[in-house]
Structure 1
Amino acid sequence: MTLQETTRLLLPSLLSIPSATSVVHHTSQSILLSFIMKFTNYLLTTATLASSVLAAPAPRTGLEDRLRARSLQRQSHPLAPIPLDTSTKENSRLLEADENTTHVTYSSNWAGAVREQPPPQGTYSAVSATFRVPEPTAQGGSGTQAGSAWVGIDGDTYSNAILQTGVDFYVENGQTYNDAWYEWYPDYAYDFDLDVSTGDTIVAKVEAISPSQGVATIENISTGKKATQTIRAPAATATLAGQNADWIVEDFQSGDSMVDLAGFGEISFWGVQAQGGGSTWGVDDATIVELKQGNEVLTDVEVQSDSAFTVKYTS
């Protein structure tokens, strides 16, 4: 029985209590009615508060809390090149590729493909690609390991700014987590309010409206949801030049250091496209970037066509 029904049943009985006189009777009725109404309101308020507490969303897991905190300091960085060393086996392979007109370079934080020269008739105004969110795997040790897949404008030969958007993937003690984000370097990255899971197919795109304003879009094809954000340059010295178009897997930075890179199997980019100078461009003639840390090359980039390539984790 509800509280309202109980009140309706009790009220007639309480009001029918006999009184000595009609004046006293009416006065008693008024006082009693006021008491009943106040008590009913108190019970209703208490019940509402209790139901609100019960309906509150469940707290995030410990892993998610830590990663949310880490994401507040998450930041991509421009390509960090490593000088070519022709004495190593890995560089011999890259030099052979160079003879076939494919330009390959090393980086300590990037792997993928970059168009390092602007279009003949202008600058890059939009960059996009589709990729599938990988399943990250821990590579020895403990703690959180992570990586990121993204598209962007600038950040290679022009390093004052990067307009970019993508998806991070994390693993800790067998648990995985992902977040979709946008960033205008040198500012930090900011998360989209968009659910992303391992195996989801993602379309990522950035557009430069002007040197100081752009748009980042992440569309989750697997869920049918999309998020878009207009972004402004964080400083007058951080405007875009439109010199580079990037399709990247990154060992990104959190706080003052790079995260431990998680294994990611392979990440395929397709529908790769850059717009600029009235034309559309792919990865033909792009620079291939391999990620190398210490003496170990951790990736193998394979180009399938002008609009598709794969970054394989090889460690």
Structure 2
Amino acid sequence: MIISIITILPLLLSGITIARPATIPAARRFRSGGPSSTYKNFTASDASASTKGTYTFTNWAGAFLDTTDVTGITGTFTVPTPSAPAGSDPDTSYCGCAWVGLDGISNFCPKGGLMQAGVNWCVENGVSSFVAWYEWWPAEAQQYWDDIDVSAGDSITVTIAATSKTGGTANLVNNSSGQRATFTWTDESPALCEVSAEWIVEDYSVGNELVAFADYGSVTFTGNSALVGGATADDLTSAYLADMVSQSDSSDVISASSLKVISRRGRFDATWIGDRWIENWADRAM
């Protein structure tokens, strides 16, 4: 399974510094335990060489910025069609989610909050379900928007904006249906650190265990940007990649991430590029 981040070049921003993590980062929302992976091994050797490093998490795949004074993030993705892995139990619900958020790397913000929003997907006995949600973690569990309907193939744009370290807004738009929803946080605790921004596919946890992870094919984040030091950063070539690996075998890559760079020069058909990108990776998907 593939998650790809598309960024636009060239864009040079003065006063914005993207630092290399001093230590190997750890993903937020992880709990000890969880099911062993049932996915086959494949190599992530084709992950983008233009990034400064690829890290492995047992619950995340995607990209993140390690910086300072980051107060906003946006990204657009298409909701995938989930499927149960080979040999799955028909009575088990296999799930996953895609989201964007702030301060999701735990050792960058060890005692702080995580502000995020996205879409969950699940499949059980061939029946799929989807839900849009927002969350200030660990102060609350996922909260669901009742006025947003989500289906496979829908284009979703999520924008997170911190108005302070204890408040902000989550906006989610279903571009396919025109539905949109907003939630505003105030006086939340723990406070944000405003030091990282993330575009993530996650094997989320319920209680102290990861849910059984669904096959999802591929997810591509487009239209990505972050607000860093008051300036919009949409050149993500300094972002770090995260691959999801099995808890029992770190060489078993469950979901690999890549960075696709598109030049600003000339004209291009964004739909064609998106289709070509997915097609080129089709033989690597599970």
Unaligned runs of 5+ in 1: 1-76, 81-87
- The residue aligned with 1:214 is 168
Q: Which amino acid aligns with 2:124?
A: E
Partner of 1:127: 73
Q: Which residue does 2:258 correspond to in 1?
A: 302
Q: TM-score, normalised by structure 1?
A: 0.65
Shift of 1:171: 0.3
SS of the aligned residue for 1:298 comes to strand
Deviation digits for residues 172-206 of structure 1 (CA, Å, limit 9, x no counterpart): 00000000000000021100111111111101111
Residue 141 of structure 1 and its aligned partner are, at CA, apart by: 2.0
- Residue 305 (structure 1) shift: 2.0
Verify: 1:189 aligned to 2:135, yes or no.
no
In structure 2, C-alpha distance between the alignment counterparts of 1:227 and 1:165, rounded to whole Å: 11
Check whether the contact 1:79–1:107 (CA below 8 A) recurs between aligned residues.
no
Residue number among 165, 190, 211 corresponding to 2:117 in the alignment: 165
Matches within 5 A, 1:27-176: 78=28, 90=43, 93=45, 101-118=51-68, 123-139=69-85, 140-142=87-89, 143-156=92-105, 157-159=108-110, 160-176=112-128
Q: Decide whether the 8 Å contact of 2:42 with 2:253 is kept in 1.
A: no
The corresponding residue for 2:38 is none
CA distance in 2, matches of 1:182, 1:306: 30
> Does the 8 A contact of 1:284 with 1:306 survive in 2?
no
CA contact (8 A) 2:51 2:240 kept: no
2:196 aligned residue: 244
Give, as a single letter, the amino acid of the residue that structure 2 aligns with 1:298.
I
Highest RCO, 1 vs 2 (Cα 8 Å, sep ≥ 6): 2
Distance across 2 between alignment mates of 1:136 and 1:232: 35
1:90 deviates by: 4.7
Query: How many residues in Structure 1 have an aligned counterpart in Structure 2?
Result: 223
- Cα offset for 1:97? 5.9
1:260 aligned to 194, 212, 216, which one? 212
| Aligned twin of 1:202 | 156
Structure 2 unmatched runs, 5+: 1-26, 31-40, 264-273
Matched with 1:21 is: none
Q: Report Cα offsets for 1:14-51 as digits up to 9, x if no partner.
A: xxxxxxxxxxxxxxxxxxxxxxxxxxxxxxxxxxxxxx
Alignment root-mean-square deviation, CA: 2.6
**If each structure's helix is expressed as a fraction of its own residues, which one has the higher value?**
1
Q: Alpha-carbon deviations, 1:145-171, whole Å to 9, x = none?
A: 100000000021224211000000110
- Describe the shift of the 1:125–1:171 C-alpha distance in structure 2 as closer, same or farther (beyond 3 A): same
Following superposition, the deviation at residue 304 of structure 1 comes to 1.0
Q: Which amino acid aligns with 2:219?
A: I
1:219–1:289 Cα change, 3 Å: same
Q: Highest CA radius of gyration, 1 or 2? A: 1
Identity across matched positions, percent: 31
